[in-house]
Amino acid sequence: MVKNKKLLLISLRDPFLDSDRVMPPIGVMSLQSYMLSLGFDSKIENDFDLYNIDKYHEYTHFAISCMTPQKKQAYSILNIIKLRFNDKSVIIGGPHTQYYLEDCVKEPFDYIIVGDGEYSLRAVIEGKASQRILNIPITSAEMNKLPVPYREPEFLKQYNFNIQGINASTILTAKGCPMSCAFCEDAGTKVRLYNPENIDIQIKDVLNAGFKGIMFFDDIFAISKKRIKDLVYVIGRYNISFRCFGHAKSMTDEMAKLLSDSGCIEVGFGAESGSQRILSAINKRTTVEENIKFIEICNKYGIRVKAFIIIGLPGEDFTTIEETKKFLDILLSNKFTNKFGKEVTNDFDITVYFPYKGTKIRSAMDKNSGEYDIYFSQNPDDLQGFYKGRGGSTEISVRTSLLDSGLIQKTQKELLTEYKRKVINH
């Protein structure tokens, strides 16, 4: 144990969501497990009390994991700690620091961690950090030597997620994404895989915590046949139901059967739009026909599909909206029997595009290059930056040449209202 050092890992709330007790914070859980393995005195706080700051007086270090929509909350916690205590170190990490580093530097954080947090945070706690901004990457080999995420049952049971009525928790089998979608800040990031032995331990931990289902949360779970064979060999040992993400380019009958036989009951995928013009503009590298084929293949093996749609992408107009409606009609027209013998339809969700920094689209917008038919309707940096909020609400910061922000917002609400009526759940 590092003498006289005590760490509080802060997992921020998501007050804009209907419930922020759905997905457990895997990044923070991974840090907690690593800190404990080193003998550090560390605790996760997932409900930081701004109004009773003295309860945290014993901690010497506060590490805040922050996504961009949580930035104001992170800055508030920072400022109140600095106001009340003059001898505490406050660290920020998480996705927000990756592309909003300039914003973070302006705030009085003692340390800013970019990318992987384990080694950087260790350096801070041990007093070995040589600079304010730390970025110490972890290789795939090193990643598999780290302890699996902290999954104490009492902690996990604070989060309520279900897959077709089955209580479930989350696992990451990989980090990074090889795709190059222009709207995504994770596009083209280095892929690092957890090995089957690591995943086996994680599955056991989830089951031992009392869950019957698993959400494999990585973007590239069902993207490689070889990888799927390795994964289902492990998953198939357990009587579990699971959900994962897939990609239209890689889904085949063989892959769908492998998934179904090992317990997969639902696959989510980024359809994004029913318009080929938009899919091409955002470099999705799929066609509308491939997206439809993806749905048909999954349904054939009793796997429900949840398609994710984004309204307000570059070039959105009345024609592309109508094309998306046709796609939703196809998605929801097929009633099939799921693996529990229930007649269901597929499902979907619709959000409005928010141009985060780090995306190719945002970069072009900031340069006023005119490469994409999309424009700011208000300063996105003045908004929280969430894709989806309470009751399906979204923040609107964009327009196209033919759709203003009001029409984009109106379209999203109308599509949700009209098409959610057609969804048949379990």
C-alpha to C-alpha distances, 148 to 16, 121, 218, 350, 380, nearest whole angstrom: 30, 17, 16, 33, 36
Q: Which pLDDT value is given to residue 334?
A: 85
Residue 371's CB: how many other CB atoms inside 10 A?
15
The Cα 49–Cα 194 span in angstroms is 35
- List of residues 6+ apart from 289 with CB closer than 8 A: none
Contact call for residues 2 and 36 (beta carbons, < 8 A)? no
The CATH number that domain 6-143 falls under is 3.40.50.280
Find residue 267's DSSP bridge partners.
244, 305
Length in residues, the chain: 426
Query: Do residues 279 and 273 touch, judged by C-beta distance below 8 A?
Result: yes
- Work out the burial of residue 417: count CB atoms within 10 Å of its CB; fewer than 13 is exposed, 13-18 middle, 19 or more buried: exposed
Q: Which of 79, 83, 54 is nearest to 92 (CA)?
A: 79
Q: Which amino acid is at 408?
A: I
Distances (CA, A) of 328 to 84, 164, 248, 309, 313: 53, 20, 16, 9, 17
CATH T-level topology, domain 160-420 = TIM Barrel (3.20.20)
Q: 97 near 114, Cβ under 8 Å? A: yes
Q: For residues 219 and 240, what is the distance between their CA atoms, to the nearest angstrom?
A: 20
Domain ranges of the chain: 6-143, 160-420
pLDDT at 316: 98
d(CA 160, CA 180): 32
CA distance 204 to 171: 11
Alpha helices (H) along 108-189: 118-125, 140-143, 153-156
Q: Taking the complete model, does pTM exceed 0.85, yes or no?
A: yes
* Cα 64 to Cα 201: distance, rounded to the nearest angstrom: 27
| Three-state DSSP state, 33 | helix
In this prediction, the residues of the chain whose per-residue pLDDT falls under 70 are 1-2, 15-18, 386-393, 426
**3-state class percentages of the chain: helix first, strand second, coil last, to nearest 5:** 35, 20, 45
Could you tell me how far CA 31 lies from the centroid of its own chain?
17
Burial 187-198 (b: 16+ CB within 10 A, else e): bebebbbbeeeb
Tens of pLDDT, residue by residue over 87-97, are 999 999 999 99
Q: What is the pairing mode between strands 213-216 and 347-352?
A: unpaired
C-alpha 47: how far from chain center: 20
**Tokens 């990490």, residue located:** 93
Is 149:201 a contact under the CB 8 Å cutoff?
no
Write down the pLDDT at residue 387: 66
Structure tokens given for 271: 């359809």
CA dihedral sign of residues 15, 16, 22, 28? negative
Residues 213-263 have pLDDT tens digits of 999 999 889 888 999 999 999 999 999 999 999 999 999 999 999 999 999
Strands 336-337 and 343-344: antiparallel
Query: What per-residue confidence (pLDDT) applies to 214?
Result: 98
